[in-house]
Amino acid sequence: MKLQLLLETKYPKLAEKRDIVQNAIELAHALGNDNPRVAILSAVETVNPKITSTIDAAALCKMAERGQISGGTLDGPLAFDNAVSEAAARTKGIISPVAGRADILLAPDLEAANMLMKQLTHLADATGAGVVVGARVPIMLTSRADDALTRMASSALALLLADYQRRSLLSSPSGA
């Protein structure tokens, strides 16, 4: 299952992206993926000081190496084709446990995330689900234009995440 996240702000800073990635990993855990592969998207797959999203991607990967982000495997910067196509990654010589096999796609900003989701919906017949994560409880976030299937998917996702959070709280030493 691929997850695409809308960002909290139009142009999130590095700390916000760290939180978004960690919340996405927790959501993947709730869905049964114990080690999700996170692709941090940019226009290119090399670090370029002139492209902020490549710097952020490199920093997020270093944060994961240092334990500031846990529970998943991160790689980036990766262009979209390298994140979802093993053949594209091979062609470009990218050796990575994430490239071509990403479970989570982190877009660099709200505009890119919105375009990506709409393209997946209209060109790849994907179904979305809207849930705000990182709050005390999951919050369903649907659009007036969403169809019944998307609304049901949002409800199911929110329920799965709420149940996972409740079980995690009950199993923790401080939550018993």
- pLDDT on residue 5: 47
Helix or strand holding residue 126 (H, E): none
Q: Per residue in 139-157, is it b (16+ CB within 10 Å) or e — as a string?
A: eeebeeebeeebeebbeeb
Query: Cα dihedral angle (27, 125, 57, 62), rounded to 10 degrees?
Result: 40
Residue pLDDT tens, the chain, 176 long: 444 444 445 789 999 999 999 999 999 999 999 999 999 999 999 999 999 999 999 999 999 999 999 999 999 999 999 999 999 999 999 999 999 999 999 999 989 998 998 898 889 888 888 888 888 888 888 888 888 998 999 999 999 999 998 998 888 776 55
Query: What is the chain's Cα-based Rg?
Result: 16
Query: Using an 8 Å Cβ cutoff, are 130 and 140 in contact?
Result: yes
Residue 162 DSSP class: H
For the chain, first and last CA: distance in Å?
32
Token pair in block for residue 109? 């900003």
- Judging by beta carbons within 10 Å of its beta carbon (0-12, 13-18, 19+), is residue 34 exposed, middle or buried? exposed
Which residue type is seen at 81? Answer: D
pTM attached to this predicted model: 0.87
Cα–Cα distance for residue pair 132/109, rounded to 1 Å: 16
Cα–Cα distance for residue pair 100/150, rounded to 1 Å: 26
Cα–Cα distance for residue pair 141/129, rounded to 1 Å: 8
Question: Regarding beta strands 3-4 and 37-41, do their DSSP bridges make them parallel or antiparallel, or are they unpaired?
Answer: unpaired
